[in-house]
């Protein structure tokens, strides 16, 4: 039970951290655009010569937000697999595991009949 709560807590924390990082990325982008267009010449030069740099702060900082969300989904996946293991579920849960089970038993892979 403690392991389940730990995994859920980590997932929730990573979701919150990811959301906070995205808020930081949006704030940094607004400040960056305010700085560029507050002083007209750098903003115009940036538009002409390097338009992708206008979104530099958001792109750079939001990468870490996406990684935080990715870690949260990893912890949720671990929680799901731990619950299945504790419940004693032995059936394969992914298509690859189902195919591996069929090949191990020497059967042909399952096919879906298009007529049904």
Question: pLDDT, tens digit, for every residue of 33-83?
Answer: 999 888 888 888 888 998 888 899 999 999 999 999 999 998 888 888 888
The residue with greater pLDDT, 114 or 85, is 85
Residues 6+ apart with CB under 8 A from 31: 57
The whole-model pTM stands at: 0.69
Q: What are the phi and psi torsion angles at 89 (to 5°)?
A: -75, 125
For residue 14, give its domain range: 2-104
Number of compact structural domains in the chain = 1
Question: Is the residue at 112 inside a domain?
Answer: no
Question: Is the residue at 99 inside a domain?
Answer: yes
Question: Is the residue at 17 inside a domain?
Answer: yes
Question: Is the residue at 72 inside a domain?
Answer: yes
Tokens 């997932």, residue located: 11
Question: Is the residue at 111 inside a domain?
Answer: no
Question: Is the residue at 71 inside a domain?
Answer: yes
For residues 37 and 42, give the distance between their C-alpha atoms in angstroms, rounded to a whole number.
Answer: 7
Percent of the chain with pLDDT over 70: 82
Report CA-CA distances (Å) from 107 to 19, 91, 111, 114: 47, 16, 12, 20
pLDDT at res. 82: 82
Question: Is the residue at 77 inside a domain?
Answer: yes
For residues 112 and 16, give the distance between their C-alpha atoms in angstroms, rounded to a whole number.
Answer: 41
Question: Is the residue at 8 inside a domain?
Answer: yes
């Amino acid at each position: 039970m403690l392991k389940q709560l730990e995994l859920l807590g980590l997932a929730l924390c990573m979701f919150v951290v990811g959301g906070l990082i995205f808020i930081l990325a949006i704030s940094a982008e607004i400040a960056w655009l305010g700085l560029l267009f507050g002083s007209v010449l750098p903003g115009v030069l940036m538009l002409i010569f390097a338009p992708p740099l206008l979104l530099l702060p958001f792109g750079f900082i939001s990468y870490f937000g996406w990684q935080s969300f990715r870690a949260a989904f990893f912890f949720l996946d671990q929680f799901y697999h731990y619950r299945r293991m504790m419940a004693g579920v032995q059936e394969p849960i992914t298509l690859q595991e189902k195919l591996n089970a069929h090949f191990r038993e020497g059967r042909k892979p399952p096919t879906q009949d298009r007529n049904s």
